[in-house]
Amino acid sequence: MDVEILWFVLGLPLAGSLALALVGHRHVAMDVNVGFSVATFVAACVLTVQTVTGGPRLALGGAFWIDPLNAFLVTLTAFVGATTAIFSRPYMRVERDHGKMTAPRLRLYHSMYQLFGFTMLLALTTNNMGILWVAMEAATLTTVLLVSVYRTAASLEAAWKYFILCGVGIAQALFGTVLLYMAAERVVGPGGGSLLWTNLEAVKSQLDPRIVTIAFAFLFIGYGTKVGLVPVHNWLPDAHAEGPTPVSAVLSGLLLNVALYAILRCKVLTDAALDSHLAGQLMMGFGLLSVVAAAFLLTRQKDAKRMFAYSSVEHMGLMTFAFGLGGPIANYAGLLHMTVHSLIKSAIFFSVGHAAQKAGTQIMEEIRGLVHVSPMVGWGLMLGALAILGMPPFGVFASEFLIITSAMRQQPWATPFLLVALGVAFASVFGRVQPMVFGDTSLKRLGHRPAAIPVYVHLGLGLMLGLWVPPYLDAWYRQAARMIGG
Amino acid sequence: MAGFAFQLINVLGALLLLLAFAMISQRRILSLIHLYTLQGLALVVATTLVGHETGQPHLYLSALLTFALKVLLIPALLHRLIDRLDVRWDTETLINIPTTMLIGIGLVIFAFNLALPVAQLSASIARSSLGIALACVLLSFLMMIARAKAVPQVIGFLSMENGLFYAATAATYGMPMVVELGIALDVLIGVLILGVFMFQIREKFESLDIRHLETLKED
């Protein structure tokens, strides 16, 4: 542990964004992008192994804090970042051939892609709640540029909406952070150490409950906007549908998780300070509302990426609900769901992205018979859809099963809502995906082979987590679930 | 002396609130930018005073940063922006101004009530500052909702950040420096991106009226 591996985890994407700002328009840029992302993933793996063997620790002079909860998300983030970069290679070649991506746009896209990865990893590893906010805001800025990269009227509208709504939301989170700082300063004393997570964690039960209540409300609204909880979810479907597909994959797979991670950190403090279940109740309420509302909004979608964006709202709601329930089992289920949702949802977006390129449209009614043109994309989409809808033996089934059984035990009133919502979502998504995959086709072939590896690696991992959770991963989930408490 | 400075910081807070109300009632974009600059100036004076009273040197640095960013750089950028976009005049409001003012008064009462329990605990010099800051944030929020044009929305966004900054300074003697630098950087980049965006929006829609941005609906 002599050379801090964290330097590489954070430094590689940052260096990548600088390098790609210079060469991002060249032909090699896509490979460079993959190279940096994979290298970041390797560094993240080393970091995780160190954390698993060495336990939680401070890094780089106390500015960063690595514990089981964030180490797990760092690996997941770096992994999805790397596979999405692999997917983005053929995808962007096709977009360039179609003239949708010009050289300057490719350069912006690649540079921002790496910078986005950097902000996510910074948000996860920082020990400072203030820096967490700064990184989340920076992530918003980079993704706004990514969403608007096509410069079409619709993408500009989506990006503008995204910027304004998330800007306002994240401003509420800043107010919450100020209040948290105020509460902590009364205990820790002045000197700037009051926003450090390690200090907050140490004094969490002495924080003034009145300030913390208001602070949590603001933090929850603020970061909840980025999680995409109903009723502040409006930016999410637009941003997913109008940006390039790799961006949709990382938005769903990474950004939403990291925002939820921020809420979890705040929840730990609030629970200890309040001696009541207020934070959990808020999370359950809004989580459940998101699940139900998103399931019914799903039924009305025509655009494939929009539909799966609503499915992300639904699943983020489910996770928020699970963490709101609290307790070791629900937290475990929430963490497992976070993992499988990231993996499966990004696999779906990979398949949808290739399918939309073949069809030249994202409207589901005009995409037919994928399996005849490209069995790989067709089956990827079909299996992904089945997995995300919670069919056994995929991992989503396991986590949803755990969430619903803990809901039955702890909050029985919520179970019928959950079951109805999952049923509605199943009917509408399956009914739409089935003719897209089978049926007569009018699709054309593309010049570049689609990237099969990311889709099937993700689906394979999702399948594995449904059948068998490796022991070290299991131990790791248990540790993280204990930390969240509840 | 301490009592005087205390009063002065509260006066500056009140000024901030007054300026937020003035922004709501103002329809000229140029005046909006002037009001925003004045808000920045009030913040700089308040930060310097708090720094002087509490003897925290990093607040001077933060005041300097605020001055450079919110009094010089961002207003200059906004001036250039409206010059090149040629949108000096007239901003249509979606809700008429008297109604907006009445809603604004309601928001201020709400903000003070919400901040009351916290303000009673506050050990710092300016107790009412938290209520004022929250009121400023909510008023800016209202401004963003009530305006139909892109530039006033952005000014509302920036003014919201001013309110937050005042909360951080007066209620907690400023955030740690590294956080403050990060926030300043985010705001600056945000303004630059929004500036670029506005050109693109106008190019596509031939107007900066955000009512054009309503085609993506839930259907």
Calculate the average pLDDT of chain B: 84
Adjacent-strand bridge partners of A426: none
pLDDT digits (tens, 9 = 90+) for B64-92: 999 999 999 999 999 988 888 877 766 66
- CA pair distance A454, A409, nearest whole angstrom: 38
Is the per-residue pLDDT at A278 higher than 50? yes
Of A175, A179, A300, the CB nearest to B137: A175
- CA pair distance A289, A280, nearest whole angstrom: 14
Omega of the bond leading into A231 within 30 degrees of 0 (cis): yes
Q: Given this model, what pLDDT does residue B56 score?
A: 81
Q: Given this model, what pLDDT does residue A49 score?
A: 86
Interface ipTM: 0.91
Is the per-residue pLDDT at B174 higher than 80? no
A101/chain B closest Cα distance in angstroms: 16
**A30 is written with which tokens?**
């896509």
Instruction: Report in angstroms the alpha-carbon separations of B99 from A147, A248, B35.
Output: 36, 40, 21
- CA pair distance B82, B66, nearest whole angstrom: 22
Instruction: Report in angstroms the alpha-carbon separations of A170 from A165, A176, A310, B192.
Output: 9, 10, 21, 18
User: For residues A444 and B53, which has the higher predicted lDDT (pLDDT)?
Assistant: B53
Is the per-residue pLDDT at B147 higher than 50? yes
Q: Which residues of B touch A131 (CB under 8 A)?
A: 178-179, 182
Task: Tally A–B CB contacts below 8 A.
Answer: 131
Q: Given this model, what pLDDT does residue B178 score?
A: 82
Q: Are A203 and A184 in contact (CB under 8 A)?
A: yes
**Cβ count within 10 A of residue A96:** 18
**A463 is written with which tokens?**
């399948």
**A74 is written with which tokens?**
């760092």
- CA pair distance A383, A219, nearest whole angstrom: 37
Give the distance from CA A466 to its chain's centroid: 20
- CA pair distance B165, B65, nearest whole angstrom: 12
Q: What percent of chain B has pLDDT over 70?
A: 91
Q: Given this model, what pLDDT does residue A397 score?
A: 94
Is the per-residue pLDDT at A2 higher than 50? no
Q: What percent of chain A has pLDDT over 90?
A: 61
Which residues, other chains included, contact A478 with Cβ-Cβ below 8 Å and sequence gap of 6+?
A328, A332
Q: Are B135 and B103 in contact (CB under 8 A)?
A: no
pLDDT digits (tens, 9 = 90+) for A345-391: 999 999 999 999 888 889 988 888 888 888 889 999 999 999 999 98
pLDDT band at A258 (very low <50, low <70, confident <90, very high): very high
Tell me which of A256-270, B129-143, B163-177 is least confident: B163-177
Instruction: Report in angstroms the alpha-carbon separations of A379 from A287, A343, A434.
Output: 31, 16, 11
**Cβ count within 10 A of residue A478:** 15
pLDDT digits (tens, 9 = 90+) for A214-226: 999 999 999 999 9
**Cβ count within 10 A of residue A332:** 23
Of A131, A148, A208, the CB nearest to B182: A131
Calculate the average pLDDT of chain A: 91
**A18 is written with which tokens?**
């600088």
> Residue A190: which H helix or E strand, with range?
none
Q: Given this model, what pLDDT does residue B218 score?
A: 55
Q: Are A370 and A377 in contact (CB under 8 A)?
A: yes
Q: Given this model, what pLDDT does residue A91 score?
A: 92
pLDDT digits (tens, 9 = 90+) for A235-247: 999 999 999 999 9
**Cβ count within 10 A of residue A205:** 12
Tell me which of A117-126, A258-267, B146-155 is least confident: B146-155
Is the per-residue pLDDT at A426 higher than 80? yes
pLDDT digits (tens, 9 = 90+) for A128-171: 999 999 999 999 999 999 999 988 888 988 998 898 889 888 88
Of A144, A153, A241, the CB nearest to B204: A153
Is the per-residue pLDDT at A303 higher than 80? yes
CB contact under 8 A, A159 and B183: no
pLDDT band at A419 (very low <50, low <70, confident <90, very high): very high
Q: Which residues of B touch A122 (CB under 8 A)?
A: none
pLDDT band at B149 (very low <50, low <70, confident <90, very high): confident
CB contact under 8 A, B168 and A178: yes
Of A134, A167, A178, the CB nearest to B157: A167
CB contact under 8 A, A174 and B213: no
Q: Given this model, what pLDDT does residue A286 score?
A: 96
CB contact under 8 A, B118 and A158: no
B116/chain A closest Cα distance in angstroms: 10
Annotate A374-406 with DSSP letters as a single string. -HHHHHHHHHHHHHHTT-TTSHHHHHHHHHHHH
Is the per-residue pLDDT at A25 higher than 90? no
Specify the length of chain B in residues: 219
B190/chain A closest Cα distance in angstroms: 7
Q: Which residues of B touch A297 (CB under 8 A)?
A: 218
CB contact under 8 A, A130 and B216: no
- CA pair distance A208, B51, nearest whole angstrom: 25
- In the 8-state DSSP scheme, what is residue B4? H
Three-class SS state of B125? coil
**Cβ count within 10 A of residue A152:** 13
- CA pair distance A194, A184, nearest whole angstrom: 5
Closest chain A residue by Cα to residue B217: A238
Q: Given this model, what pLDDT does residue A448 score?
A: 76
Strands (E), A199-273: none
**B73 is written with which tokens?**
């750089």
Give the distance from CA A383 to its chain's centroid: 20
